[in-house]
């Protein structure tokens, strides 16, 4: 602006110069950025087989139909294949574990990772119930106490 207004002036000069600079590729490349750099990119996990990594979410607050008002959505991250399982919103961890066992595990086996958008207490309860149903011994560990690894 300083260089332009030394020799030229017209009504709206500031607005026009600003529009020109915003539309100029070279000006945008040379412009100083005020935000911090975002850091290095991290590659995604390479998925090797179906149902290895899954996402679990809920569709709730639906109209009641045949006693059900929610849907459990279990999505395979590899090909985005999904299971839609009817349920009630008031389901507890034990009931959810049974739905998972009967509709996902029996068809695809246990996944390596599960992303569940619920609180940690709900997730721990679900995994505890699922481990009991599948007769998997759960050993909880505390950091820096490797004696539970035996």
The residue extents of the domains of the chain are: 1-32, 53-133
Average pLDDT over residues 92-116: 85
Q: At 105, is the pLDDT very low, low, confident or very high (cuts 50, 70, 90)? A: confident
pLDDT at 143: 60
**What pTM, to 2 d.p., does this model score?**
0.60
The domain 53-133: what is its CATH number? 3.30.420.10
The three-state DSSP-derived secondary structure of the chain is CHHHHHHCCCCCHHHHHHHHHHHCHHHHHHCCCCCCCCCCCCCCCCCCCCCCEEEEEEECCCCCECCECEEEEEEECCCCCEEEEEECCCCCHHHHHHHHHHHHHHHHCCCCEEEECCCHHHHHHHHHHHHHHCCCCCCCCCCCCHHHHC
Mean pLDDT value across residues 138-149:
59
CA nearest neighbour of 103 among 81, 118, 121: 81
What sign has the CA pseudo-torsion 118, 120, 122, 128?
positive
For residues 33 and 67, the model is more confident at 67
Mean pLDDT of the chain: 82
Q: What percent of the chain has pLDDT over 90?
A: 17
Tokens of 15: 């607005």
Stretch 17-38: mean pLDDT: 80
* pLDDT of 150 over the 70 cut: no
What pLDDT score was predicted for residue 149?
47
């Amino acid at each position: 602006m300083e260089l332009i207004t030394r020799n030229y002036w017209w009504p709206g000069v500031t607005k026009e110069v600003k529009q020109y600079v915003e539309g100029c590729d070279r000006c945008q490349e040379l412009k100083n950025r005020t935000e911090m750099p975002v850091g290095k990119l991290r590659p995604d996990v390479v998925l090797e087989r179906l149902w290895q990594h899954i996402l679990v979410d809920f569709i709730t607050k639906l109209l009641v139909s045949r006693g059900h008002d929610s849907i459990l959505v279990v999505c395979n991250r590899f090909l985005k294949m999904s299971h839609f399982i009817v349920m009630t919103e008031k389901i507890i961890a034990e009931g959810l574990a049974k739905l998972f066992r009967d509709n996902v595990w029996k068809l695809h086996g246990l996944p390596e990772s599960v992303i569940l958008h619920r609180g940690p207490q709900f997730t721990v309860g679900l995994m505890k119930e699922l481990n009991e149903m599948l007769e998997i011994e759960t050993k909880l560990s505390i950091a820096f106490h490797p004696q539970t690894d035996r």
